[in-house]
């Protein structure tokens, strides 16, 4: 089954290649909170317009049963008035974008609170079951409109206080505070109803504040400066890869967030910044462009790359199986040019494998290979060649897994023998990894297979390499090409090609022309079974 293709690549102009570590997340949070607050208030107005007429049935039931002396027409007029109020607000506030959310809040909730307070006072005062309407209004306000409790306290407090104030002003005591406070029955009912109302308001404010805090963390988690995180693309031992959106350029990009080890001295951060800056200077069209890097507010390291359309060579191998030699030679030629530039800047990739070679399409439709994930590349230090590198067996990636037949798949399949012996990784280690990748693409199997990682590492260090031609039908791999791979896979780095450019030149005669089909595909189209 074919794998899903990625969206179109976003090309970033050179002027965007400047480090932007952070944006003002507090201002962005304020904008998003304002937008959310406004949307929820409009939702509350809409629900009010729909529910108010339904409560007219409650008024009718009260008039028919326990309160035959109530002024039913006045109550129905109030219900109709609240319905019109909510509907008019919903229409008006959708257009009044300049109106503050605080004003919207008071307009939506204060008038209904006064109306419900009057209904409560007119149907028995503190003992009236109509207090349930105010309780429902308080619950709706704190549930529908989350935010910081301190900012929402004035409106919610008014909703709560509207109950005793309305009972005092519109009830039997008609504003006589002393008479009202002296009424033991009134005070008993007031306390019985006011306590749960205050409790509901308090719990609602706390819940509203918690929801707001969660939203704040979500905004922070889904933002890396000017980049908006869209979705996760994958994760591994080194960190997480996200599809993101560049807010300023309006284009997709890829962000890799690296999980640093304990870095009390700040050395890791300084090294990351230095190496990310070096990597961002790579200009080869066959290297994925790194155009930004930085530190998240949580202290995680991240770098930003262009987003490519296509599939990795690992995907192509998984779907289509072994590839023909001239196509593989063409792919490796692209990778050699990318790595040659990196090596000229004394950068060693350290993790060349099929998953880090990406088949992308150029503007004219040609398929080219781009080298991905220079995220663990390191600068080669000055000194003797054997000790210049910094990758040792101790920090070699070990993301390997066993298949049902005991074949190990993962990064260790492509690591050079000298690295496993504890020597440093220089540009010749990348050459070995690239040749091991080509071997796998050609034959459908890695250079060495084993039942355990330990056995795999021992074979890589000591066991002779079986020529790839022995895994293929006679004639499917030219002898010269077989010899090129065997030289690049030599145990001794000194026996390999002197540079990536030398390896590219050796493979060039065997490579299919850019955009052309392989000789095997061409023969099939002509009805010839081919070599």
* 8 A C-beta contact, residue 238 and residue 376: yes
pLDDT of residue 403: 31
pLDDT of residue 266: 64
**For the residues 345-373, what does the mean pLDDT come to?**
89
pLDDT top residue among 14 and 227: 227
Q: How confident is the model at residue 245 (pLDDT cuts 50, 70, 90)?
A: confident
* 8 A C-beta contact, residue 39 and residue 104: no
The DSSP letter of residue 233 is E
Q: How confident is the model at residue 198 (pLDDT cuts 50, 70, 90)?
A: very high
* 8 A C-beta contact, residue 298 and residue 258: no
Sketch the domain layout of the chain as residue ranges.
Answer: 14-23+232-306, 25-221, 310-525
pLDDT top residue among 155 and 366: 155
pLDDT surpasses 60 at 402 = no
pLDDT of residue 12: 37
pLDDT of residue 101: 86
How many Å apart are CA 190 and CA 85, to the nearest integer?
29
Strand partners, 352: none
The DSSP letter of residue 54 is G
Q: How confident is the model at residue 224 (pLDDT cuts 50, 70, 90)?
A: low
How many Å apart are CA 437 and CA 449, to the nearest integer?
14
% of the chain surpassing 70 pLDDT: 78
How many Å apart are CA 64 and CA 312, to the nearest integer?
75
What mean pLDDT, rounded, does the chain reach?
80
How many Å apart are CA 411 and CA 418, to the nearest integer?
15
Q: What is the pLDDT of residues 61-101, one digit of tens each?
A: 999 998 999 999 999 999 999 999 999 999 998 888 888 88
C-alpha radius of gyration, the chain, whole number: 35
How much is the pTM? 0.56
* 8 A C-beta contact, residue 488 and residue 432: yes
pLDDT of residue 113: 94
CA distances from 350 to 35, 271, 317, 371, 411 (A): 46, 16, 21, 12, 10
For the ranges 205-214, 249-258, 264-273, the lowest mean pLDDT is seen at 264-273
* 8 A C-beta contact, residue 423 and residue 386: yes
Strand partners, 287: 371
How many Å apart are CA 156 and CA 206, to the nearest integer?
12
Q: How confident is the model at residue 425 (pLDDT cuts 50, 70, 90)?
A: confident
pLDDT top residue among 369 and 374: 369
pLDDT of residue 24: 44
For the ranges 10-24, 71-85, 290-304, 401-415, the lowest mean pLDDT is seen at 10-24
* 8 A C-beta contact, residue 159 and residue 223: no
CATH class given for the domain over 14-23+232-306: alpha beta
Q: Which pair of tokens denotes residue 277? A: 């800056």
- In the chain, the largest separation of any two C-alpha atoms, in whole Å, equals 111
Give the residue from 355, 20, 220, 234 showing the smallest Cα distance to 242: 234
Catalytic position from the list 105, 326, 351, 373: 351
**For the residues 394-405, what does the mean pLDDT come to?**
36
Q: Which pair of tokens denotes residue 497? A: 């090609």
Exposure pattern of 368-384 as b/e (b: 16+ CB <10 Å)?
bbbbbbbbebbbbeeee
Q: Look at the block and give the residue holding tokens 């060349």.
A: 352
pLDDT surpasses 80 at 430 = yes
Instruction: Give catalytic status of residue 351 as yes or no.
Output: yes
pLDDT surpasses 80 at 495 = yes
Q: What is the pLDDT of residues 509-525, one digit of tens each?
A: 999 877 555 544 444 43
pLDDT of residue 470: 92
pLDDT top residue among 322 and 400: 322
pLDDT of residue 45: 92
Q: Angle between the 427-443 and 313-320 helix axes, to the nearest 10 degrees?
A: 20
Task: Please state which of the four CATH numbers 1.10.510.10, 2.40.30.10, 2.40.50.140, 3.30.360.10 is assigned to the domain occupying 310-525.
Answer: 1.10.510.10
Give the residue from 130, 115, 112, 117 showing the smallest Cα distance to 62: 130
Q: What is the pLDDT of residues 377-395, one digit of tens each?
A: 566 554 333 333 333 333 3
pLDDT top residue among 296 and 400: 296
How many Å apart are CA 173 and CA 502, to the nearest integer?
101
Give the residue from 286, 378, 397 showing the smallest Cα distance to 334: 286
How many Å apart are CA 368 and CA 499, to the nearest integer?
21
**For the residues 477-496, what does the mean pLDDT come to?**
93
pLDDT of residue 219: 58
CA torsion sign for 165, 166, 167, 168 is positive
Strand order in the sheet with 310-312: 310-312, 357-361, 367-371
pLDDT of residue 407: 33
pLDDT surpasses 60 at 526 = no
pLDDT of residue 303: 84
pLDDT surpasses 60 at 1 = no
| 404 CB-near residues (< 8 Å, 6+ apart) | none
Q: What is the pLDDT of residues 16-58, one digit of tens each?
A: 333 333 344 455 556 667 787 888 899 999 999 999 999 999 9
Q: CB-hemisphere CA count at 13 Å for 479? A: 0
**For the residues 200-221, what does the mean pLDDT come to?**
77
């Amino acid at each position: 089954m074919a794998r899903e293709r990625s969206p179109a690549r976003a090309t970033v102009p050179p002027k965007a290649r400047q480090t932007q570590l952070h944006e003002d997340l507090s201002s962005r949070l304020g904008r998003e909170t304002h937008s959310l607050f406004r949307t929820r208030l409009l939702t509350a107005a809409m629900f009010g317009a729909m529910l108010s007429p339904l409560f007219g049935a409650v008024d009718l039931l009260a008039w028919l049963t326990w309160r035959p002396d109530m002024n039913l027409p006045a109550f129905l007029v109030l219900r109709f008035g609240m319905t019109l109020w909510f509907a008019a607000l919903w229409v008006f506030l959708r257009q009044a974008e300049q109106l503050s959310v605080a004003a919207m809040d008071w307009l939506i909730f204060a008038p209904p609170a006064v109306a419900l307070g009057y209904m409560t006072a007119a149907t028995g005062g503190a003992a009236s079951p109509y207090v349930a309407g105010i309780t429902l209004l308080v619950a709706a306000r704190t549930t529908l409109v989350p935010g910081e409790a301190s900012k929402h306290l004035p409106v919610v407090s008014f909703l709560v206080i509207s109950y005793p104030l309305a009972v005092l002003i519109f009830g039997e005591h008609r504003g006589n505070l002393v008479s009202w406070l002296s009424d033991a029955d009134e005070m008993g009912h007031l306390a019985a109803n006011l306590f749960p109302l205050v409790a509901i308001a308090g719990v609602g404010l706390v819940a509203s504040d918690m929801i707001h805090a969660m939203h704040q963390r979500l905004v922070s988690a889904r933002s890396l400066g000017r980049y908006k995180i869209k979705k996760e693309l994958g994760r591994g031992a080194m960190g997480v890869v996200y599809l993101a959106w560049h807010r300023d350029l309006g284009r997709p990009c890829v962000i890799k967030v690296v999980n640093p080890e304990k870095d009390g001295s700040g050395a890791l951060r300084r090294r990351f910044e230095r190496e990310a800056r070096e990597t961002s200077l790579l200009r080869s069209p066959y290297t994925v462009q790194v155009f930004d890097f930085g530190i998240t507010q949580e202290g995680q390291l991240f770098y930003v790359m262009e987003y490519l359309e296509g599939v990795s060579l690992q995907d192509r191998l998984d779907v289509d199986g072994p590839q023909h030699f001239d196509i593989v030679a063409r792919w490796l030629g692209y990778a050699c040019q990318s790595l040659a530039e990196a090596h000229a800047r004394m950068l060693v990739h350290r993790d060349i494998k099929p998953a880090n070679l990406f088949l992308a399409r150029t503007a004219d439709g040609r398929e080219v290979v781009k080298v991905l994930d220079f995220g663990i590349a390191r600068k080669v230090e000055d000194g003797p060649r054997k000790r210049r590198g910094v990758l040792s067996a101790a920090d070699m990636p070990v993301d390997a897994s066993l298949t049902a037949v005991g074949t190990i798949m993962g990064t260790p399949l492509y690591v050079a023998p000298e690295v496993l012996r504890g020597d440093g990784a220089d540009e010749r280690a990348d050459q070995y990894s690239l040749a091991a990748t080509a071997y796998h693409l050609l034959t459908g199997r890695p250079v060495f297979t084993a039942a355990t990682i330990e056995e795999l590492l021992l074979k890589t260090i000591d066991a002779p390499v079986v020529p790839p031609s022995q895994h293929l039908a006679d004639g499917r791999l030219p002898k010269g090409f077989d010899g090129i791979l065997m030289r690049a896979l030599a145990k001794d780095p000194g026996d390999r090609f002197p540079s990536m450019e030398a390896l590219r030149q050796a493979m060039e005669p065997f490579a299919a022309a850019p955009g052309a089909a392989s000789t095997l595909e061409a023969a099939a189209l002509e009805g010839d079974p081919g070599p």
